[in-house]
Amino acid sequence: MTDTQREISFRFLAQPTDVNFGGKVHGGAVMKWIDQAAYAAAVGWSGAYCVTVALSGLSFIAPIRIGDLVTVHVKLIRTGHSSMQFAVDVLARDLKARQQRLATSCVIAFVALDAPDGAPVGVPPWRPQSADDARLAERAEELARLSKAMEQALQGSAAPAVRG
């Protein structure tokens, strides 16, 4: 696989329909953009239909305003047998002031699926190529461990079913 298949960026202007009552872009709209861009990256890397399985470390750092140029940058940072993790940075740029800021960041995970039966399928492996890649891959490993631990903790403390 080439590095061009490893990364993708979506760019667009934040629209009035994207904002909340405070005049800033909804967190839900940002999450949708992240999922869409990362889906494109996951399918581009794997060549298969993919589904989102986890979102980790989501941080809303700075607001996005109407008219900001939004860039959703997605970069593959880890592969498993059928899974892929991507680092995502959402950047917002005030076009008049020419100032760009990091608005949101996270790690998102996808699993590649076989179209006919929905079973997980293998994805091409990726290995770190630089020190920065190794740091990102290590972060992805840690987030995967934390996610599994949280999932196990939640399963162990599931509330009893409510009877009607």
Domains and CATH numbers, the chain: 3-155 (3.10.129.10)
* One-letter amino acid for residue 52 of the chain: T
pLDDT at 3: 47
DSSP letter for each residue of 49-72 = EEEEEEEEEEEE-S--BTTPEEEE
DSSP letter for each residue of 98-128 = TEEEEEEEEEEEEEEE-TTT--B--------
pTM of the model: 0.86
Question: Per residue in 23-56, pLDDT tens?
Answer: 899 999 999 999 999 999 999 999 999 999 999 8
- Intervals of the chain under pLDDT 70: 1-4, 157-164
Residue 10 and residue 44: Cα distance in Å, rounded? 14
pLDDT at 86: 96
pLDDT at 62: 97
